[in-house]
Amino acid sequence: TKRTETEVRESSSILEESGEEKDIMKIALTFDDGPSKYTSRLSEGLKKKGVSATFFLLGANVEKYPEEGKKLAEDGHLLGNHSYSHVQLNNIPLKKAYQEIIKTNNLIYETTGEYPQYVRPPFGEWSSQLEKQVEMFPVFWNLDSLDWKVKNTEKIVKTVTDQTKEGSIILMHDGYETSVEAA
């Protein structure tokens, strides 16, 4: 059913305690490369704020930090696949790329009881051949926080708040304390 502009506007606003409407921007907050030693802390912080995020997990890190991966699922976050070893999937043989994804899917399932439906290819590099082999949705981003590079909480916050707009898919990483603080 097609909704009117007013219905859309009303469904994306909330009433503040003062009774005034406040528009809510629809964005996606995503974290790559986890889980890590900071993941549980990040998940708790997001949960306290009522925020759900998407975590694209590395298979090697799921093996290293299984409890953190399990906590993400328990806290209601969406889990996706980020390959097993963070390789550029379109630069390795198709069979090896497929194995990177399947091995990680299986590890995520063993840890959380759910198979991921989404994959974020490392470096944003994806091949149409791999897409035909893997029945998952590739997910990219349109706002890179550069948290892995700057490792400065205030700069990360500024980058994200200055550039975020309706529909932003924000790329962050949960392996850095500064990223967790910024989130």
Q: Just list the catalytic residues.
A: 32, 173
d(CA 69, CA 140): 21
Cis, peptide link before residue 35, omega less than 30° from 0: yes
Distances (CA, A) of 97 to 61, 104, 111: 17, 11, 22
d(CA 31, CA 55): 5
CA 53 to chain centre: 6
